[in-house]
């Protein structure tokens, strides 16, 4: 487990959650006591439709909210899109960019992901930039090369390292119940840290590197104790307060 900075456990609800799901956020807020707050930061990225509803609930509990994507521009004729400024206005502090479901389903390039990350910074949000290889790329021995290329192309160029979060999410581990070996996670996170130091200098120790991909209460303990794993980005297990809190409790 990395000693600095304070780890981050972030929930990515994806396209899940209606008004009734607000009760899960209420439960998380009730259980996020001072002891746990001191050990781990929590963020929830619900669908944009719930941000304004969630904002007053999490404010008192010091839980952060995040958007799941943003447009690179601040406003304009972009039907259906949401800007980083709109997310911030609705109460977000983070924005996920470059999730593999955006890269794959919407053909998002590294350059577009970088533009979105920079838009997040412009709006005062901390970007959570996702990177990760496909199964075929890992099987071909290209995982490190792919992730390094994504980092070089997707990360904002002018950023204070502490405002940046990187999420390593092997595409084949997302929503599948599969995870890399602990050794593979350790190797990739060390390689990401080394690349961040090359890009941003010694201060890159302040950038949190999250692991994401089928993190559950049962496997979180071993994954979150790996060096350079500064928290987790959680999909399925973030949808219930019980599982999300059980993962956060690893840090207590
Ligand atoms: C994700 O989509 O960011 C994710 C990590 O999903 P899951 O935890 O469901 O694998």
Q: What is the pLDDT of residue 195?
A: 98
Cα–ligand 1 centroid distance for 113 (angstroms) = 18
What CATH number is attached to the domain comprising 68?
A: 3.20.20.70
Mean pLDDT by groups of 10 residues along the chain of 252 residues: 78 98 97 97 98 95 97 98 98 98 96 98 98 98 98 96 98 97 98 97 96 98 98 98 98 98
Q: Which of 41, 71, 85, 99 is catalytic?
A: 99
C-alpha angle 59/166/137, rounded to 5°?
A: 140
Tokens of 112: 């577009």
Ligand 1: which atom is nearest the Cα of residue 236? 9
Q: What is the pLDDT of residue 207?
A: 98
CA distance linking residue 209 with residue 219, whole number of Å: 18
Contact 186, 228 (CB under 8 A): yes
Residue 200 lies inside a defined structural domain of this protein:
yes
Contact 234 CB / ligand 1 (< 6 Å):
yes
**Cβ neighbours of residue 210 closer than 8 Å, sequence gap 6 or more:** 8, 10, 128, 165, 166, 167, 168, 229, 230, 231, 232, 233
Confirm whether 169 is a catalytic residue.
yes
Residue 48 lies inside a defined structural domain of this protein:
yes
Q: What is the pLDDT of residue 4?
A: 75
Residue 152 lies inside a defined structural domain of this protein:
yes
Q: Identify the bridge partners of residue 71 per DSSP, sorted by sequence position.
A: 83
Cα–ligand 1 centroid distance for 197 (angstroms) = 26
Closest CA to 101 of 174, 190, 39: 174
Contact 133 CB / ligand 1 (< 6 Å):
no
Q: Which of 41, 101, 118, 169 is catalytic?
A: 169
Residue 88 lies inside a defined structural domain of this protein:
yes
Q: What is the maximum alpha-carbon separation in the chain?
A: 48
Ligand 1: which atom is nearest the Cα of residue 232? 5
DSSP string of 65-121, one letter each residue = EEES--BSSSSSS-TT--BHHHHHHHT-SEEEES-HHHHHHS---HHHHHHHHHHHH
Cα–ligand 1 centroid distance for 116 (angstroms) = 20
Closest CA to 61 of 47, 46, 40: 40
Residue 1 lies inside a defined structural domain of this protein:
no
Residue 96 lies inside a defined structural domain of this protein:
yes
- Count of structural domains within the chain: 1
Residue 2 lies inside a defined structural domain of this protein:
no
119-123 long-range CB contacts below 8 Å, 24 or more apart?
A: 119/70, 119/71, 119/72, 119/73, 119/74, 119/83, 119/84, 120/70, 120/84, 120/94, 120/95, 121/156, 121/159, 121/163, 122/74, 122/84, 122/85, 123/70, 123/74, 123/83, 123/84, 123/85, 123/87, 123/88
Cα–ligand 1 centroid distance for 167 (angstroms) = 11
Q: What is the pLDDT of residue 136?
A: 98
Q: What is the pLDDT of residue 2?
A: 41
As a 3-state breakdown, the chain gives helix, strand, coil percent values, each rounded to 5, of 50, 15, 35
CA distance linking residue 99 with residue 168, whole number of Å: 10
Confirm whether 99 is a catalytic residue.
yes
CA distance linking residue 239 with residue 219, whole number of Å: 17
Cα–ligand 1 centroid distance for 177 (angstroms) = 10
Q: Return the residue whose CA atom lies nearest to atom 8 of ligand 1.
A: 235
Contact 37, 8 (CB under 8 A): no
Q: Say if pTM beats, i.e. exceeds, 0.85.
A: yes
Residue 3 lies inside a defined structural domain of this protein:
no
Ligand 1: which atom is nearest the Cα of residue 174? 10
Contact 179 CB / ligand 1 (< 6 Å):
no
Contact 91 CB / ligand 1 (< 6 Å):
no
Domain holding 83, by residue range, is: 8-251
Contact 121, 97 (CB under 8 A): no
Ligand 1: which atom is nearest the Cα of residue 238? 8
Q: Return the residue whose CA atom lies nearest to atom 4 of ligand 1.
A: 235
């Amino acid at each position: 487990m990395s000693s600095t900075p304070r780890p981050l456990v972030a929930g990515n609800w994806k396209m899940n959650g209606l008004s009734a799901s607000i009760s899960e956020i209420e439960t998380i807020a009730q259980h996020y006591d001072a002891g746990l707050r001191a050990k781990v930061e929590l963020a929830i990225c619900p669908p944009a439709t719930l941000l304004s509803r969630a904002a007053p609930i999490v404010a008192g509990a010091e839980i952060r909210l995040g958007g799941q994507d943003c447009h690179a521009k601040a406003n304009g004729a972009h039907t259906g899109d949401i800007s980083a400024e709109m997310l911030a206005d609705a109460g977000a502090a983070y924005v996920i960019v470059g999730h593999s479901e955006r890269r794959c389903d919407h053909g998002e390039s590294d350059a577009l992901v970088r533009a979105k990350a920079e838009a997040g910074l412009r709006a005062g949000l901390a970007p959570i930039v996702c990177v990760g290889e496909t199964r075929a790329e890992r099987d071909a021995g290209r995982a490190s090369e792919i992730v390094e290329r994504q980092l070089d192309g997707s990360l904002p160029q002018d950023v204070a390292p502490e405002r940046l979060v990187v999420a390593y999410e092997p595409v084949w581990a997302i929503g599948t119940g599969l995870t890399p070996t602990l050794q593979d996670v350790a190797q990739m996170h060390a390689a990401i840290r080394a690349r961040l130091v090359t890009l941003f200098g010694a201060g890159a120790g302040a950038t949190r590197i999250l692991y994401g991909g089928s993190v559950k209460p049962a496997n979180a303990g071993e994954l979150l104790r790996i060096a350079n794993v500064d928290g987790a980005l959680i999909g399925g297990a973030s949808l219930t307060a019980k599982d999300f809190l059980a993962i956060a409790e690893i840090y207590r």
